[in-house]
Structure 1
Amino acid sequence: MFKVPPIAADRLPGLLAAAPKAELHIHIEGSLEPDMIFALAQRNGVALPYASVHDLRRAYAFTSLQSFLDVYYAGASVLLHEQDFYDLAQAYLARAAMDNVARAEIFFDPQTHTARGVDLHTVVGGLHRACTDARQNLGVSASLILCFLRHLSEEDAFATLEQAMPLLDRIVGVGLDSSELGHPPEKFARVFARCRQLGLHVVAHAGEEGPPAYIWSALDVLKAERIDHGVQAVRDAALMQRLAQERIPLTVCPLSNQKLCVFPGLAAHNLPQLLEAGLAATVNSDDPAYFGGYINDNFTQTFAALPMLTAQHAWQLAFNSFEASFAPEADKRRWQQQLQACFERHADPA
C-alpha cells in the first residue's frame, strides 16, 4: 500500500478536489438539476406540479428514501427524447470532469421511462452517445449500468431485460435500486442469474435502510460484485469480516445518507469505521441534484465533519474506487499511478 507523505490539514481540501477518482454510484436521473427539469419541461410541453425552481427545491426536505423517490420520479417525467437523455448525461459528465472523475459507472432506471411510453432504445441511445463523447471531449471513461426497480415485480424486470437484449453491448452491468424495505434481493434471484449468464457485471443496493440480511442476500443470492450503500453492515460482525476479507466494495454516499436520515448528520457517519475495519469503501454522490452535492462535495464535506479522516484515508478511498470499477485493468493501474503522483505533488515541502 502506498504510504501517503505528510500533508498539512489546510492542504487536504485542495487535494480531495484534485485527486483523480472513480464514481461508481451515480443515478443519472438523480443528476437532473431543477433548472434542467424546467427547461426540458418547457421544451417537451410537460406540465410540472411545481410553479418554479424555488418551489421544486423546497420539496427536497426528505424524511426517507420513499419521500425522495416520489419527487425523483416526478422530475424524470420531463425526459422523453434521445436528446434529453444525452443532455442529462452530458451535463453530469462535464461536472464529473471538473471534479477530476476519471471513471464513471452510471446507473439508469429504464422502467421509470418505459412505463411512460419512452422506448428503451431512446434512453440508451442518448446516454451511450454522451458516454462516447465524454471519453473524447472530456477525458472521462464512462459506462452504463441498467438498474431494475425493486418495488416492481421480477417479471417486469425480465421484460426489461428482454427489451435490452439488442443493447447489451452498450451496458456493462445490472443493478437493483428503488425502495429497499420490503423488497429483499432474493425477489430478483432468477433475473440476476440470467444477467450473469449473459456476462453482465452485477451490483445491488443493500443495507442503506434495509438490514444486514439484505447484504448477505445480495452477495449469496444475486452474486453481487459490489454493494451499493452497505452502511448497515456494521450491525453484523460476521458480515463485516466477510466484506473485508473478500474485498467486496461498498459504494458509500455520505450526503445521501444524511439527506435521507440514515444518519442524523455527517459527523455521525460510519465511514471511518468501515475503513478502519479494512472494507473497500468508496465515496460517491448517489443523486447529487437532490442531495446537495456532487462527488467532490461528498469528499470535502465528509472529511470536514469527520476530522479523524486523514490524507491516507483519502488516498485509500480513491484507490478503492478504481480497484472496484469495471474498467480494463490497464486503465485501473494508470489511474492509480496518477492518484499516487497527485498525492506526491501535494506533499508538504521537505
Structure 2
Amino acid sequence: MTTPPSDDTLLALPKAELHLHIEGTLEPDLAFELAGRNGVELPYASVEELAAQYDFSDLQSFLDLYYATMAVLRTEDDFAELTRRYLRTAAAQGVRHAELFFDPQAHVARGVPIEAVIDGIGGALAEAERDLGVSGGLILCFLRDQPVESADAVLTAALTRPERLLGVGLDSAEVGYPPELFAGVFARAKDAGLHAVAHAGEEGPPSYIVQALDLLGVERVDHGIRAAEDPELMARLAADGIPLTVCPLSNVRLRTVPDLSAHPLLRLDAAGVRVTVNSDDPAYFGGYVGDNYLAIRDALGVTAEQAERFARTSIDASFAPTARKAELQAAVDAWRS
C-alpha cells in the first residue's frame, strides 16, 4: 500500500489498545446519566457545560476534572456500563484486545468497594470477549501522588480477585513522584505473578524512564516520549525491545508536545524503538484509538505500512496468551491482503 490509507482502512486494522484509563472514557452524557442515577450533583449545569471544560493547560488541570467527574461512578453496574460503552466504541475502531488501566485508590477513597470496581469492569470485559470478540484484562494503576502505603493496601485488597488482574501500573501526576518510590510495591506485585508497566517520560524527565526499567522492572513504558531527548536511552529501548504505549492526541491536549506535527512518534520508530498507538483518556482528549491512527496519518504522513507495524507491535507487546496473539496477527495478515 503506497497511497495514504483511507479512514476505513485504518479503522478496520486489527489492533490492541495498551494504554487506556477506563475512567478516562467517561463521556459527558454518561456522567450526567450516572449522576442522576446515583444522586450525585455535578458542578455543571449541562452536558454541554461539562464538555466545555475539556480544555486543559497541563496534566494537572486535566487530573482535577478527571477526579471530579469520576465521583458519579458508585456501583458495579456503573463500572460495567462505562466499560461496555468503551468496548463497543473501541471494537468499531479495530480494537481486538484491550488492557484497561483502572485507579482503585480514587474509588475506595470515596467508599466504593474495590470488588465493585474490579467485578464491574471485569464482567464487561468477559461480555465483550463473548459478544464482540475483544479479549483483554485489567491493569491496576497506583496513584503516584498518593502515599506508597495506600498503594500497598490497594494491592492487598485487589489480590482477592487475582484472576481478574493482568498487571500493575503507575499513573497520575508525574513530576516530583519518581518511579523509585514504588519499587517495593512493584516487587510485591511481581512476586504475585503480575506484569508491570508504568507511566514515565510524559511530563517527567527521561531519567524516570530509566528508573521504571531498572527499579520497577517494567515490561512496557507508558508514554515514554521524552526518551526522544536521550539518544542513549532510545538505543537502549530499541536494543532491549521495550515497547512504548504512545498516546498522540493526549500529548497534544496536555501540551507535552506543541502540536501533532512535532510529535516524536516517528523519530522513536526510526530509531528502532517499538511504539504502539493508544488513546489514553479518549473522552477527554478528542478521540479513541482509531481516531489517533487517523490523526497521525494526517499530521505525520503515517503510511499503511507504518500503521501495520504499530498494530503488530501492539499485539506482540500485549499480555495476551501466545495463541491469542497468533490469532490477532493472522487477522492483521487478512487485513493486509
TM-score by length of 2: 0.99
Secondary structure at 1:166 match in 2: coil
The answer on 1:36 being equivalent to 2:45 is no
Residue type at the aligned position of 2:122 = H
Residue type at the aligned position of 1:65 = L
1:8 to 3, 8, 20: 3
Q: 2: distance between equivalents of 1:33 and 1:322?
A: 27
- In the alignment, which residue of structure 2 is the partner of 1:77? 71
Q: 2: distance between equivalents of 1:84 and 1:235?
A: 41
- Do the aligned partners of 1:15 and 1:343 also contact (CA within 8 Å) in 2? no
Q: 2: distance between equivalents of 1:14 and 1:138?
A: 19
1:120 to 105, 114, 119: 114
Residue type at the aligned position of 2:246 = V
Q: 2: distance between equivalents of 1:105 and 1:165?
A: 18
How far apart are residue 223 of structure 1 and its match? Answer: 0.2
2:275 to 251, 269, 281: 281
How far apart are residue 234 of structure 1 and its match? Answer: 0.9
Q: 1: distance between equivalents of 2:228 and 2:286?
A: 25
How far apart are residue 12 of structure 1 and its match? Answer: 3.5
Give runs of aligned pairs for residues 79-118 of structure 1, distance below 5 A: 79-118=73-112
Residue type at the aligned position of 1:8 = T
Q: 1: distance between equivalents of 2:283 and 2:226?
A: 24
How far apart are residue 14 of structure 1 and its match? Answer: 2.5
Q: 2: distance between equivalents of 1:62 and 1:310?
A: 30
- In the alignment, which residue of structure 2 is the partner of 1:340? 333
Residue type at the aligned position of 1:324 = A
Q: 1: distance between equivalents of 2:177 and 2:71?
A: 24
How far apart are residue 76 of structure 1 and its match? Answer: 0.4
How far apart are residue 57 of structure 1 and its match? Answer: 1.1
How far apart are residue 340 of structure 1 and its match? Answer: 1.9
Q: 1: distance between equivalents of 2:303 and 2:119?
A: 41
How far apart are residue 13 of structure 1 and its match? Answer: 2.8
Task: Give the RMSD, CA atoms, in angstroms.
Answer: 0.8
1:181 to 159, 175, 181: 175
Residue type at the aligned position of 1:222 = L
Q: 2: distance between equivalents of 1:15 and 1:245?
A: 31
Secondary structure at 1:282 match in 2: strand
The answer on 1:199 being equivalent to 2:180 is no
Residue type at the aligned position of 1:70 = D
Percent of paired sites with the same residue: 54
The answer on 1:242 being equivalent to 2:236 is yes
How far apart are residue 270 of structure 1 and its match? Answer: 0.8
Q: 2: distance between equivalents of 1:96 and 1:123?
A: 20
- In the alignment, which residue of structure 2 is the partner of 1:347? none
How far apart are residue 293 of structure 1 and its match? Answer: 0.2
How far apart are residue 148 of structure 1 and its match? Answer: 0.4
Secondary structure at 1:222 match in 2: coil
Q: 1: distance between equivalents of 2:198 and 2:140?
A: 11
Secondary structure at 1:8 match in 2: coil
- Do the aligned partners of 1:26 and 1:107 also contact (CA within 8 Å) in 2? yes
- Do the aligned partners of 2:17 and 2:314 also contact (CA within 8 Å) in 1? yes
How far apart are residue 8 of structure 1 and its match? Answer: 2.3
Secondary structure at 2:72 match in 1: coil
Q: 2: distance between equivalents of 1:241 and 1:95?
A: 36
Secondary structure at 1:22 match in 2: strand
- In the alignment, which residue of structure 2 is the partner of 1:310? 303
- In the alignment, which residue of structure 2 is the partner of 1:320? 313
- Do the aligned partners of 2:279 and 2:292 also contact (CA within 8 Å) in 1? yes
Secondary structure at 1:103 match in 2: strand
Residue type at the aligned position of 2:321 = P
Residue type at the aligned position of 2:3 = A
How far apart are residue 7 of structure 1 and its match? Answer: 3.8
Q: 1: distance between equivalents of 2:147 and 2:180?
A: 12
Q: 1: distance between equivalents of 2:106 and 2:148?
A: 15
Q: 2: distance between equivalents of 1:49 and 1:341?
A: 48
- Do the aligned partners of 1:206 and 1:228 also contact (CA within 8 Å) in 2? yes
Identify if the C-alpha distance between structure 1 residues 7 and 341 changes in structure 2 by more than 3 Å, giving closer, same or farther.
farther
Secondary structure at 1:156 match in 2: helix
Secondary structure at 2:43 match in 1: coil
Gaps of 5+ in 1: 1-5, 345-350
Q: 1: distance between equivalents of 2:11 and 2:93?
A: 6
- In the alignment, which residue of structure 1 is the partner of 2:322? 329
Deviations 1:10-33 (A, max 9, x none): x44322111000000000000000
1:149 to 123, 143, 149: 143
How far apart are residue 208 of structure 1 and its match? Answer: 0.3
- Do the aligned partners of 1:145 and 1:175 also contact (CA within 8 Å) in 2? yes
> Which has the larger displacement, 38-47 or 161-170?
161-170
Q: 1: distance between equivalents of 2:311 and 2:6?
A: 14
The answer on 1:158 being equivalent to 2:137 is no
How far apart are residue 338 of structure 1 and its match? Answer: 1.2
Gaps of 5+ in 2: none
Secondary structure at 1:77 match in 2: helix
- In the alignment, which residue of structure 2 is the partner of 1:226? 220
Q: 2: distance between equivalents of 1:329 and 1:27?
A: 24
Q: 2: distance between equivalents of 1:297 and 1:100?
A: 11
Q: How many residues align?
A: 337
